[in-house]
Structure 1
Amino acid sequence: MACEECFGTIFRRKLGRCTACMWQLALLSAICWPLWYWLYHTTPRTVNSIALLFFCGAFSGLLLLHLLVLTYRRLRGRR
């Protein structure tokens, strides 16, 4: 990742602060979900389909975690 937060801190401190990570995860999620639907929605039990679903879930899950922690920090007044 490209920001100073990513190079200098541990994982828990990066959550909700690294905008570069959040943009990358949003882009990867926006690419992977339509790609899975376009290629594999008719055959969801193939190995390639399942692997792409795991990637989609990982990207979206980590993005959701970033956004939840960002919201929590903003509500609590921490930056």
Structure 2
Amino acid sequence: MITVKCFARYRALLGFSELRLPLAPTLGDLLADPRFADLPKDALLALNQSFADRTAPLTEGDEVALMPPVSGG
């Protein structure tokens, strides 16, 4: 299983703060699930607390975080 955590406005957008899903080969494959259809393409992705891209391979027990882009000064 993979744990997916949503932060900030993505909680309301996707309708959950944490979700457990079956293992997928890559982060992109996981995000192809219809539950992520509303996730913007510019979402920041983290895998086990390190930024990752959609090609990152997944293994059992991984934690994925979905975060909106951040700006500030």
**Fold similarity call, TM over 0.5:** no
Report which of the two has the higher share of strand. Answer: 2
Q: What's the TM-score, normalizing by structure 1?
A: 0.23
Q: What's the TM-score, normalizing by structure 2?
A: 0.24
Larger Rg: 1
Report which of the two has the higher share of helix. Answer: 1
